[in-house]
Amino acid sequence: MPREQLGICAEGNLHSVYLMFNANDGVEDQLRPCLANVAQYIYELSDQYADSAFNGFVAIGANYWDTIFDGQRPAQLRPFPAMNEGNRDAPAIEYDLFMHIRCDRYDILHLVANEISQMFEGLVELIEEERGFRFMDSRDLTGFVDGTENPKGRSRQEVALVADEDISFKGGSYVHVQKYAHNLSKWNRLPQKKQEDIIGRTKQDDIEYASEDKPLTSHIKRVNLKDADGKSMEILRQSMPFGSLREQGLMFISTCHNPTHFEEMLRSMIYGDGHGNHDHLMQFTKALTGSSFFAPSLDFLAQFAN
CB of 170 or CB of 196, closer to ligand HEM: 196
Per CB under 6 A, residues contacting ligand HEM are 140, 142, 144-149, 178, 180, 199, 201, 219-220, 223-224, 235, 250, 252, 254, 262, 265-266, 285
CB of 102 or CB of 176, closer to ligand HEM: 176
CB of 31 or CB of 266, closer to ligand HEM: 266
CB of 89 or CB of 149, closer to ligand HEM: 149
Q: Minimum distance between the CB of residue 112 and ligand HEM, rounded to whole angstroms?
A: 27
Q: Minimum distance between the CB of residue 186 and ligand HEM, rounded to whole angstroms?
A: 13
Q: Look up 146 and say whether it is catalytic.
A: yes
3-state secondary structure the chain: CCCCCCCCCCCCCCEEEEEEEEECCCCHHHHHHHHHHHHHHHHHHHHHCHHHCCEEEEEEECCCHHHHCCCCCCCCCCCCCCEEECCEEECCCCCCEEEEEEECCHHHHHHHHHHHHHHCCCCEEEEEEEEEECECCCECCCCCECCCCCCCCCHHHHHHCCCHHHHHHCCCEEEEEEEEEECHHHHHCCCHHHHHHHHCECCCCCCECCHHHCCCCCHHHHHCCECCCCCECCCEECCEEEECCCCEEEEEEEEECCCHHHHHHHHHHHCCCCCCCCCHHHHCEEECCCEEEEECCHHHHHCCCC
Q: Minimum distance between the CB of residue 266 and ligand HEM, rounded to whole angstroms?
A: 4
Q: Minimum distance between the CB of residue 262 and ligand HEM, rounded to whole angstroms?
A: 5
User: Which of these is catalytic: 146, 166, 213, 227?
Assistant: 146
Q: Catalytic site residues?
A: 146
